[in-house]
Structure 1
């Protein structure tokens, strides 16, 4: 797994990368899932199920929420947007052909610590002095 966007630049750039990862609720759900699972490899179908259950953008059809449409939308977004982005940041290694995701909990922990550190700096009243 590569940390193409993580290891370059200043601490601010690294913190921004961490916030970018956590900006989207689907990516946050993926991060939550991979941090809680004990297996080193998960399937895209597992992630789709987990994220779709938590998605707030369920699609209404004739006044009814259609979970199949919402699940297809989540599956498409994970495949084409979120998993490749998490792969670019080095948190997972996504194999779209096999539809498997190798988990790097250490990289995820690093990003979460950067985000926590940036928030702590904002909350520190002495940081501006």
Structure 2
């Protein structure tokens, strides 16, 4: 029998490191650093100044920031209120997607643009998974 169509063998890996939600007080600062992973940040409350390669942006509630691997960056909460955030470091071996993510040192997605995407949906899904895991951990500890 002759093949009508043959799918190529595909193996793609997504590495996720240090995925968490956090809350930092006014005056908080994370020093300049870099890593060999992409970083995706979401500002859930307050605001924060992010500096990448000596260029600063202010993230406000609902904003997202994608930082390319290898880019030196730092964070500062210069506001008078807490800064709430979601943060994930990741890498992937899909060369096409990796190339798209690497076109600029960073990409700031303002909340107006993010609302038109599925980013908030995915964040809600992650939160739900984390809450389920936390509930399971609590139940195990009570046993």
After TM superposition, the score normalised by the length of structure 1 is 0.33
Larger Rg: 2
Higher helix fraction (1 or 2):
1
Q: Quick one: higher RCO (CA 8 Å, sep 6+), 1 or 2?
A: 1
